Amino acid sequence: MTGDSASFPEAFDEAFPGLDADSGHVLIPEPAADPALRALADRQTRGLTECLITEAPSDCRRITAVFALTLRSEASRVVHSTDRASTNAAPGPDALRLARELRRTTARLPRGPWWRMTLDLRVDGGAQVDFDYGDEPFPDEHLFAPEDYRADLKAFDWSAEKLPTWLSAFVSHGGRQTRSPRKAAVPADTRSARSAQDVSPEEMPGLTETWARWAVLSAAFVAAGSERGPRMQPSHARFKGSTRSGSTLWILPGDRAVLSGGVWDAPSLTDAYRGDAPHPELFAGAPIWVADPLLDERGKVGLMSFCYWWESGRWLRGESPKAEDLATAIPGVWTSETVTDIVSKLASRVTRDTETAALRLVTAAEGGYAERRMLAEVFGNDEGADLDGAYHQLMMAGVANRTDLPQLPRHQAIAIVRRYMLAHDLDNPDYRAADLVADRVDCGWMVYAPVPKGEMRIGRGIFFVADDEVLETTDTQNSYPNQYAKEVARRYRERWGL
């Protein structure tokens, strides 16, 4: 308990005029419930809100609380807000007891037990109590182990039809959508007899086009400052859609790739977890290299609804849906025109010139020669557009013009060496980090602390920082600086395929 509640009106109804004398607002939505049971649940809800008020400090103006419960696990939090600050607190034992009792009561209503309950109480009037049955996935801090939910389902005699698809998958996927390298290596004659199906070029663009268009969309979303949308990493692309659908694309040596992910409301998942249809064999006919390290994270929780792989110049799939059914899980890579339209709309001002510039960017990326100025032509008029971040997406994807790589500024090269020296305790009176200078060499900078005038010293360290910020160290005893600079440039060109 955290102090008295003198600042609250003594009469509960005065504190919450929006609640009627019997139940407050409609807390229990099931219309076909036993009236006596509903009345009991309403009284328990009222008791819980009164308990939370009693536990609140005297200057509290608002109380928000959340209870996440199963029969075996629980997590809860209360936030007390004053006019000046908010503080977190744990609910007292009485509040926890009342929350558990309320859940046992509501479990007997037609919809069954809730998994989370949130309360929002204001001292100036009004209260809201909401029950969460899992229509949306729970936050990590309120997600318990699958066996905890299975225990609830058994105790309350729930049928699969009542569970949302994501929770059905969480508690019963059984690892069926995972494919460890060991499982993938099972001899073909002992696997499913089903074979892979070809995906027509009209249905899904080729790998080169898919990868380049994904990269352009990633760059455009970064330029526009969006936290969502596709993103690129070397050999790896990912996409999180606005509806919890998404996918990942992995590029492998030898012109191979794996594209997998999940459509949030895929009928195949819903039907399978409800027992209305068998689970699709997503890996039917898949080669040995289609395995967990290359599969979308949704497979670990049973929510992967498709898996495609690229081999021998074509896309293939097992029992995955057609590409037209994956639109919410894959960025709009379907045609150059689709990408152009999306990129144009991400710019603050869409004109015919913007659309022309966007098409030029898409075409260049598909050919592997996109340039930073092309991004500027699309987003240059947008205040605060992140062109550097956008261009980095194109570079990581390998679709940027390799002769268009930016030169590292002198001050950044010196700062990189200075941090290195301080981290490795190399700063000393004879070679001070504060004295560093930099001379431009091919593809980077030679950074060093000059010898004081009139002195000669042998074996002084010299640092080289390439334009991609890779740091190399040497000393004049073991190599000639000019010769070493040529080796630094050679390694830089090899990294970037120049």
Give tens-digit pLDDT for 194-209. Answer: 789 999 999 999 999 9
List Cα–Cα distances, 261 to 230, 314, 408, 481, in angstroms: 13, 19, 38, 51
Alpha-carbon distance of 291 to 178, in angstroms, equals 8
- Highest mean pLDDT of the ranges 11-25, 45-59, 250-264, 468-482: 250-264
Give 443-447's long-range contacts (Cβ < 8 A, gap of 24+).
Answer: 443/467, 443/488, 443/489, 443/492, 443/493, 444/408, 444/413, 444/485, 444/488, 444/489, 444/492, 445/408, 445/410, 445/413, 445/414, 446/481, 446/485, 447/413, 447/414, 447/416, 447/417
Q: Assess whether pLDDT exceeds 50 at residue 467.
A: yes
Summarised one tens digit per residue, pLDDT across range 311-347 is 999 999 999 999 999 999 999 999 999 999 999 999 9
pLDDT over 70 percentage in the chain: 89
Q: Give the model's pLDDT for residue 394.
A: 96
Q: Assess whether pLDDT exceeds 60 at residue 27.
A: no
Q: Assess whether pLDDT exceeds 90 at residue 285.
A: yes
Q: Give the model's pLDDT for residue 413.
A: 96
Burial of 204 (0-12, 13-18, 19+ CB in 10 A): buried
Query: Stretch 450-472: mean pLDDT, rounded?
Result: 80
Q: Give the model's pLDDT for residue 163.
A: 84
Q: Assess whether pLDDT exceeds 50 at residue 37.
A: yes
Radius of gyration of the chain (CA): 31
Q: Give the model's pLDDT for residue 395.
A: 92
pTM: 0.72
In this structure, of 17-31, 60-74, 316-330, the range with the lowest mean pLDDT score is: 17-31
Alpha-carbon distance of 403 to 145, in angstroms, equals 52
Q: Give the model's pLDDT for residue 349.
A: 77
Query: Stretch 123-140: mean pLDDT, rounded?
Result: 86
Summarised one tens digit per residue, pLDDT across range 401-443 is 877 778 899 999 999 999 999 999 999 988 999 999 999 999 9
Mean pLDDT of the chain: 86
Residue in 482, 487, 418 with CA at minimum distance from that of residue 448: 418
Query: Stretch 255-263: mean pLDDT, rounded?
Result: 97
pLDDT over 90 percentage in the chain: 61
Q: How confident is the model at residue 475 (pLDDT cuts 50, 70, 90)?
A: low
Q: Give the model's pLDDT for residue 478.
A: 53
Strands of 256-262's sheet in order across: 197-199, 314-317, 306-311, 256-262, 246-252, 236-240, 229-233
